[in-house]
A and B are shown apart, each in its own frame.
Chain A
Amino acid sequence: MSPRDPAVRPRGGVPGGAEEILAAFREAGVTGQVHAVDVLGGRDLGVGADEDAVLASVFKVPLLVAFARLADAGALDPRERVHVPAEGRSPGPTGISAMLDPVDMSLRDLAFLMITVSDNTAADTLVGRVGLDAVNAAMRELGLRRTHVEHTGQDMYALMTEDVGGLDPAEFFADPAAIARMRVLDPAVTNRGTPREMTRLLELVWRDEAASPESCAMIRRCMGLQVWPHRLASGFPYDDVMVSGKTGTLPTIRNEIGVVEYPDGGTYAVAVFTRSSSTAQTQPRADAVIGVAARLAVEALRRS
Chain B
Amino acid sequence: MDLVRHLRYFEAVAEELHFGNAAIRLGMAQPPLSQRIQRLERELGVRLFDRTSRQVRLTDAGRALLAEAREILGRVDHLHAVMERARRGEVGTLRAAVTPDLAAPVVAALIAAAPPGVRLALSQIGTVEQVAALTAGELDVGVLHHPVTAPGLAFGPMLAQPVGVLLEEGDPLAASASVHLADLSGRDLVLFPRATAPGLYDEMIAGCRRHGFDPPAVHETPNPQFALGLVLAGTAVSLTPEAPSPGAVWRPLTGEPLHWRASTAWPRDTALAQTGEFAARITAILAREAGMRPVDALPARRVAPRPSSGFLA
Residues on the B chain within 8 Å of A299, using CB: 212
Whole-angstrom distance from the CB of A57 to the nearest CB of chain B? 17
Task: Label chain A's interface by main secondary structure.
Answer: loop
Tell me the bound Cα distance from A28 to B218 in angstroms.
Answer: 23
A-B pairs with beta carbons under 8 Å apart, 17 shown = A1-B219, A1-B220, A2-B218, A9-B188, A12-B183, A12-B185, A12-B187, A14-B186, A227-B308, A227-B313, A228-B308, A239-B302, A240-B210, A240-B301, A240-B302, A241-B304, A295-B209
Q: Interface code B229-255, partner A: CB below 8 Å = 1, 0 otherwise?
A: 000011100000000000000000000
Residue pair A2, B188 in contact (C-beta under 8 Å): yes
Residue pair B307, A227 in contact (C-beta under 8 Å): yes
**Closest B residue, CB atoms, query A3:** B217
Tell me the bound Cα distance from A229 to B308 in angstroms.
Answer: 6
Residue pair B304, A240 in contact (C-beta under 8 Å): yes
Residue pair B306, A243 in contact (C-beta under 8 Å): yes
Q: Which of B216, B217, B308 contacts A233 (CB 8 A)?
A: B308
Q: Which residues of A from 1 to 38 have beta carbons under 8 Å from B?
A: 1-2, 4, 6, 9-15
Whole-angstrom distance from the CB of B287 to the nearest CB of chain A? 26
Residues on the A chain within 8 Å of B235, using CB: 6
Q: A14-B185, A240-B301 are contacts. A6–B309 as well, Cβ < 8 Å?
A: no
Q: A2-B217, A2-B219 are contacts. A11–B186 as well, Cβ < 8 Å?
A: yes
Q: A14-B185, A299-B212 are contacts. A4–B302 as well, Cβ < 8 Å?
A: no
Q: Which residues of B from 80 to 105 have beta carbons under 8 Å from A?
A: none
- Most chain B CB within a 10 A radius of its CB, from A10, A15, A239: A239
Task: Verify if A263 is at the interface (C-beta below 8 Å from B).
Answer: yes
Residue pair A237, B185 in contact (C-beta under 8 Å): no
Tell me the bound Cα distance from A116 to B313 in angstroms.
Answer: 14
Whole-angstrom distance from the CB of B111 to the nearest CB of chain A? 33
**Closest B residue, CB atoms, query A228:** B308
Residue pair A4, B187 in contact (C-beta under 8 Å): no
Q: A6-B188, A9-B188, A12-B183 are in contact. List 7 more A-B contacts (CB 8 A).
A: A1-B220, A2-B217, A2-B219, A6-B234, A227-B307, A238-B210, A261-B304
Tell me the bound Cα distance from A227 to B310 in angstroms.
Answer: 10
Residue pair B187, A11 in contact (C-beta under 8 Å): yes
Task: Verify if B206 is at the interface (C-beta below 8 Å from A).
Answer: yes
Residue pair A240, B303 in contact (C-beta under 8 Å): yes
Whole-angstrom distance from the CB of B109 to the nearest CB of chain A? 33
Q: Could you tell me how many residues of chain B have their Cβ less than 8 Å away from some Cβ of chain A? A: 28
Q: Interface code B179-198, partner A: CB below 8 Å = 1, 0 otherwise?
A: 00011011110000000000
Residue pair B304, A239 in contact (C-beta under 8 Å): yes
Task: Verify if A242 is at the interface (C-beta below 8 Å from B).
Answer: yes
Q: Interface code B190-227, partner A: CB below 8 Å = 1, 0 otherwise?
A: 00000000000000001001101000111111000000
Whole-angstrom distance from the CB of A91 to the nearest CB of chain B? 24
Whole-angstrom distance from the CB of A290 to the nearest CB of chain B? 15
Residue pair A229, B217 in contact (C-beta under 8 Å): no
Residue pair B307, A226 in contact (C-beta under 8 Å): yes
Whole-angstrom distance from the CB of B100 to the nearest CB of chain A? 17
Task: Verify if A43 is at the interface (C-beta below 8 Å from B).
Answer: no
Tell me the bound Cα distance from A204 to B133 in angstroms.
Answer: 56
Residue pair A263, B302 in contact (C-beta under 8 Å): yes
Q: Interface code B283-313, partner A: CB below 8 Å = 1, 0 otherwise?
A: 0000000000000000001111011110001
Where the two chains meet, the residues of A that have a C-beta atom closer than 8 Å to any C-beta of B are 1-2, 4, 6, 9-15, 116, 225-229, 233, 237-243, 261, 263, 295, 299, 302-303
**Closest A residue, CB atoms, query B213:** A299
Tell me the bound Cα distance from A302 to B211 in angstroms.
Answer: 9
Whole-angstrom distance from the CB of B147 to the nearest CB of chain A? 11
Residues on the A chain within 8 Å of B188, using CB: 2, 4, 6, 9
Tell me the bound Cα distance from A61 to B187 in angstroms.
Answer: 41
Whole-angstrom distance from the CB of B170 to the nearest CB of chain A? 13
Residues on the B chain within 8 Å of A233, using CB: 306, 308
Tell me the bound Cα distance from A2 to B183 in angstroms.
Answer: 22
Residues on the A chain within 8 Å of B187, using CB: 11-12
Whole-angstrom distance from the CB of A117 to the nearest CB of chain B? 10
Whole-angstrom distance from the CB of B221 to the nearest CB of chain A? 8
Residue pair A242, B186 in contact (C-beta under 8 Å): no
Whole-angstrom distance from the CB of A296 to the nearest CB of chain B? 10
Residue pair A237, B206 in contact (C-beta under 8 Å): yes
Residues on the A chain within 8 Å of B209, using CB: 238, 295
Residue pair B304, A302 in contact (C-beta under 8 Å): no
Residue pair B186, A10 in contact (C-beta under 8 Å): yes
Q: Interface code B250-264, partner A: CB below 8 Å = 1, 0 otherwise?
A: 000000000000000
Residues on the B chain within 8 Å of A261, using CB: 304
Whole-angstrom distance from the CB of A17 to the nearest CB of chain B? 12
Whole-angstrom distance from the CB of A236 to the nearest CB of chain B? 8
**Closest B residue, CB atoms, query A11:** B186
Residues on the A chain within 8 Å of B210, using CB: 238, 240-241
Whole-angstrom distance from the CB of B235 to the nearest CB of chain A? 5
Whole-angstrom distance from the CB of B201 to the nearest CB of chain A? 14
Q: A226-B307, A227-B308, A239-B301 are contacts. A12–B217 as well, Cβ < 8 Å?
A: no
Residue pair B308, A4 in contact (C-beta under 8 Å): no
Whole-angstrom distance from the CB of A43 to the nearest CB of chain B? 15
Residues on the B chain within 8 Å of A243, using CB: 304, 306
Residues on the A chain within 8 Å of B309, using CB: 229
Residues on the A chain within 8 Å of B234, using CB: 6
- Most chain A CB within a 10 A radius of its CB, from B209, B234, B313: B209
Nearest 7 A/B pairs, CB to CB = A242-B304, A229-B308, A2-B217, A240-B302, A238-B210, A227-B307, A239-B303
Residues on the A chain within 8 Å of B218, using CB: 2
**Closest B residue, CB atoms, query A260:** B304
